[in-house]
Amino acid sequence: MKGIKITNNIRKLRFFHNEMTQQQLAEKVGASRQTIVAVEAEKYTPSLELAFKIAQVFNVEIGEVFMCEIQDSKK
Protein backbone atom coordinates (compact mmCIF):
# COMPACT_ATOMS: atom_id res chain seq x y z
CA MET A 1 0.00 0.00 0.00
CA LYS A 2 1.24 3.48 -0.83
CA GLY A 3 1.01 6.51 1.43
CA ILE A 4 1.18 10.20 0.70
CA LYS A 5 3.36 12.70 2.51
CA ILE A 6 2.73 16.42 2.03
CA THR A 7 5.84 18.58 2.42
CA ASN A 8 6.15 22.35 2.12
CA ASN A 9 8.43 25.33 1.60
CA ILE A 10 6.63 27.70 3.98
CA ARG A 11 9.64 28.45 6.17
CA LYS A 12 11.79 29.30 3.15
CA LEU A 13 9.04 31.44 1.61
CA ARG A 14 8.55 33.33 4.88
CA PHE A 15 12.28 34.00 5.05
CA PHE A 16 12.35 35.41 1.52
CA HIS A 17 9.30 37.60 2.21
CA ASN A 18 11.00 39.98 4.63
CA GLU A 19 11.35 37.23 7.24
CA MET A 20 7.60 37.12 7.72
CA THR A 21 6.66 35.63 11.08
CA GLN A 22 4.30 32.72 11.52
CA GLN A 23 1.91 35.12 13.27
CA GLN A 24 1.96 37.51 10.31
CA LEU A 25 1.23 34.66 7.89
CA ALA A 26 -1.55 33.40 10.14
CA GLU A 27 -3.19 36.84 10.17
CA LYS A 28 -2.98 37.13 6.38
CA VAL A 29 -4.68 33.76 5.80
CA GLY A 30 -7.17 33.91 8.67
CA ALA A 31 -5.70 31.02 10.66
CA SER A 32 -4.15 30.69 14.10
CA ARG A 33 -0.40 30.82 14.59
CA GLN A 34 -0.60 27.28 15.97
CA THR A 35 -2.13 26.09 12.69
CA ILE A 36 0.71 27.67 10.71
CA VAL A 37 3.27 26.11 13.09
CA ALA A 38 1.70 22.66 12.60
CA VAL A 39 1.46 22.99 8.81
CA GLU A 40 5.04 24.25 8.52
CA ALA A 41 6.29 21.37 10.71
CA GLU A 42 4.35 18.93 8.47
CA LYS A 43 2.31 17.71 11.45
CA TYR A 44 -0.96 18.93 9.92
CA THR A 45 -2.17 18.94 6.32
CA PRO A 46 -4.04 22.15 5.55
CA SER A 47 -7.39 22.32 3.82
CA LEU A 48 -7.25 23.05 0.12
CA GLU A 49 -8.64 26.52 0.83
CA LEU A 50 -5.91 27.29 3.37
CA ALA A 51 -3.23 25.92 1.05
CA PHE A 52 -4.37 28.25 -1.75
CA LYS A 53 -4.51 31.22 0.64
CA ILE A 54 -0.93 30.55 1.73
CA ALA A 55 0.21 30.39 -1.91
CA GLN A 56 -1.60 33.68 -2.64
CA VAL A 57 0.18 35.44 0.24
CA PHE A 58 3.52 34.53 -1.35
CA ASN A 59 2.23 35.20 -4.88
CA VAL A 60 3.27 31.75 -6.10
CA GLU A 61 1.55 28.67 -7.49
CA ILE A 62 0.38 26.15 -4.90
CA GLY A 63 2.96 23.65 -6.22
CA GLU A 64 5.74 26.00 -5.13
CA VAL A 65 4.48 25.83 -1.55
CA PHE A 66 3.30 22.23 -1.19
CA MET A 67 4.68 19.00 -2.63
CA CYS A 68 3.27 15.50 -2.53
CA GLU A 69 5.53 12.49 -2.05
CA ILE A 70 4.26 8.98 -2.66
CA GLN A 71 5.74 6.54 -0.15
CA ASP A 72 5.62 2.80 0.11
CA SER A 73 4.19 1.80 3.46
CA LYS A 74 5.08 -1.79 4.19
CA LYS A 75 3.01 -3.77 6.63
State the pLDDT at residue 43. 96
> DSSP secondary structure string, the chain?
-EEEEEEE-HHHHHHHTTT--HHHHHHHHT--HHHHHHHHTTSSPPPHHHHHHHHHHHTS-GGGTEEEEEEE---
Quote the pTM value: 0.89
- How much is the average pLDDT of 8-20? 98
Kindly report, residue by residue over 16-65, the tens digit of the pLDDT: 999 999 999 999 999 999 999 999 999 999 999 999 999 999 999 999 99
